[in-house]
Structure 1
Amino acid sequence: MASILAVDDSPSMRQLVAMTLRRAGHDVVLAEDGLDAIRVASDQDVDLVITDVHMPQMDGIRLIRELRGMPSYRFTPILVLTTESAGDMKMAGKEAGATGWIVKPFNADALLKVLDRVLEPARG
């Protein structure tokens, strides 16, 4: 299965995402904001990143830009999991390099289907 970095400033949301992913057999690394995620991403490569948008210190859009600037994360799938559903915010995410956008609250099965879809090309 995949190694996934889940980034969210809400401890309960991090745990919910981690539980969903681990039940599906994935390895999960957690980060509480964008700066924490950059530290984690610098120390280890993951197969996929899931990030919130609104976080202290470094938001999800800036995190995506920073990750895309790192050679080992240029092509890593990055999913945004957020309460934010505004079209301009989705466009900012896409322009930053987000692979997909999922609005909270999320359905576990739907999240796992999206993961399978974006991870499939990488498994090739």
Structure 2
Amino acid sequence: MTQDLDQVFAALADPTRRAILAMLLEDDMAVTDVAEPFEMSLAAISKHLGVLTAAGLISQEKRGRVKWCKLEPDALRNASVWMQGFGQFEPVNLDAFERFLEIELPDAGEGAPRSGSE
């Protein structure tokens, strides 16, 4: 479980990956749609998606010729349960998490922050 938590927290440490998660709170997205708002290559986005997938935060599946990404909230739940052990944290409420991301990443609803704007 420690390695899983390490991967989750490492994945969440990057602002681009947090922006991607915020985008996927709305709905499943094709990889090309995930990449569109960012000023980076599709290969760079694919690496970010690989980190999120390895951490269990998202899943990817091929539908026809298109690869789709889907949010997988169980990894966040496991991290939340671990944090509850310290008695200082509330369980992760995904609706509250979405509101938090909207405040922290106000452009997430329109895509994601452009690199260099942070």
TM range (shorter): under 0.3
Q: Which has the higher helix share?
A: 2
Report the structure number with the largest CA radius of gyration. 2
Q: Which has the higher strand share?
A: 1
Q: Greater relative contact order: 1 or 2 (C-alpha under 8 angstroms, separation 6 or more)?
A: 2
Normalised by the size of structure 1, how large is the TM-score?
Answer: 0.25
Normalised by the size of structure 2, how large is the TM-score?
Answer: 0.26
